Amino acid sequence: MAEYLYNRTHEYLVKRNGEYAIGISEFAVQELGDITYVELPAAGAEFRRGEAFATVESVKAVSEVYAPVDMAIVSVNEELAGQPELVNEDPLGNGYFVVVNALDESQISGLMSLGDYEAMVKSGQ
């Protein structure tokens, strides 16, 4: 089973076929409500950890999505352009945002396990 790792800003990273898929957590989706639009970067773009790489619009807010690690975009989830609700329906699966190569694998160890992430959310941090 794939291990999902989480950032303090509610993004997840999961290894798939030697690359990493990134999206937002189920908690973030619940907080945002119905997602109406997702703006994604172009393939080939590079982002440093903590930089905004995508924007999510929902009925409640507009939110930035931040790079959990230094990364290069391999591909984007093109389905989100016409079906942003996929993020609501399946955030950890078909609702992913991008597939990336991590530019600094050592940064991955700084992400939280599911248990640690859930504890952070529960504590209200």
pLDDT of residue 118: 95
Q: What percent of the chain has pLDDT over 90?
A: 93
pLDDT, tens digit, for every residue of 69-81?
A: 999 999 999 999 9
- At 124, is the pLDDT very low, low, confident or very high (cuts 50, 70, 90)? confident
Is residue 23 a contact partner of residue 95, using CB atoms and an 8 Å limit?
yes
Domain holding 40, by residue range, is: 4-105
Give a yes or no: residue 10 inside a domain: yes
The structure's pTM equals 0.94
> Does the pLDDT value for residue 2 go beyond 80?
no
- pLDDT tens across 35-84, in order? 999 999 999 999 999 999 999 999 989 999 999 999 999 999 999 999 99
Q: What is the distance between the terminal CA atoms of the chain, rounded to a whole angstrom? A: 28
Whether the per-residue pLDDT at 1 is higher than 70: the answer is no
Asked if the structure places residue 117 within a domain, the reply is: no
Helix ranges (H only) for 1-125 are 26-32, 79-82, 86-89, 114-123
Share the mean pLDDT of the chain.
95
What is the number of domains present in the chain? 1
> Per-residue pLDDT averaged across 117-121, rounded?
95
Task: Categorise residue 79: left if φ over 0, alpha if ψ from -120 to 50, beta otherwise.
Answer: alpha
- CATH code for position 78: 2.40.50.100
